[in-house]
Amino acid sequence: MILPEMDDARAYRAIPSDPDAVEEDDTSRCRWGPNPRHLVATLSLLVVEWLLICWVVHLGEAPRYYLIFASMYAFAMGVVILVNRSNPGFVPKDTDLELYRREALPATTVELNHTRFVQRWCVSCRMYKRPRVKHCYECRRCVSRFDHHCPWMSNCIGANNYKLFLLFWQHYLGLQIYSLYFIGQCISAKSADTDVSLLGAAVRSVASEHPLLVCILVVTCIRLLLAGCVFAAHGYLVCRNMTHYEYRSQPYKGNNPFDLGRCGLHRENVAIGLYQNLRAFVLLPWIDFSRD
């Protein structure tokens, strides 16, 4: 390993603690993660959404849609629980403890993709943090390919559950599009049943009779916009082979060293670089239930 320069140590505040320090106590943590109330709130909001769309189904007199929406919301809640129960990519503790006891280095450096990385000593996990590894103070563990900590799913999003996290947002986006389409169909059918000939007046008539339906329509549009923005943002990050944490903190000087379209062998061919970035995403695991 390469010794870090003094500037690196200052910049990263790499001040190690006693290698024999006692580990953080994880026994007090809830089995549902560090934010169980947020998780309950997420599942509760999904249930409320389902109940409201069931009211729209009842209003539209389309009973076959009860099962369709029940299945879609059950799938969404199931994915949330899977993300919560998954191992996001926890790095084993004490992997570098013997090295630290022997060398007592505050940090080490490695070179990867022509970029020099400072590997800081993690006091809690007692290891040198590899590139793309970050310690989460909510989960009290170092996470590989750390994207962000999601309190609403009460878990970190990392290498082992990022695809599952994106699956939720993809499904939720499709669910909002389908809900908006069905609500529009319901309003159209109710407008046709009125005695008003003008379309605008008919819609206003339906809105005056069913104000809750209009409220559900507006809220669905807001949820659709939110889900679309989140999914589009992560789609951009996938195409750049970048995590949300890397995008927000900009830890690299110059281009992202993991973007194979800009810093890899294919930087002169954007299409091949994009393909390699997408391939890196596809090769990520779907889920890991181990907790060690």
Q: What are 148's strand-pairing partners?
A: 157
Q: Is 54 an active-site residue?
A: no
Sheet of strand 127-128, all strands in order from the earlier edge strand to the far edge = 107-112, 115-122, 127-128
* Beta pairing class for 133-136 and 141-144: antiparallel
Cα separation, 160 vs 68, whole angstroms: 30
Name residue, tokens 């943590």: 29
What's the Cα-to-Cα distance from 255 to each of 154, 213, 251, rounded to whole Å?
Answer: 32, 48, 10
- Residue 161's contacts (CB-CB under 8 Å, 6 or more residues apart) are 82, 83, 86, 87, 88, 89, 155, 287, 288
CA neighbor of 252 nearest in space, from 131, 150, 164, 153: 131
Residue from 125, 150, 186, 263 carrying the catalytic annotation: 150
Chain-centroid distance of CA 67 in Å reads 28
Q: Could you list the active site residues? A: 150
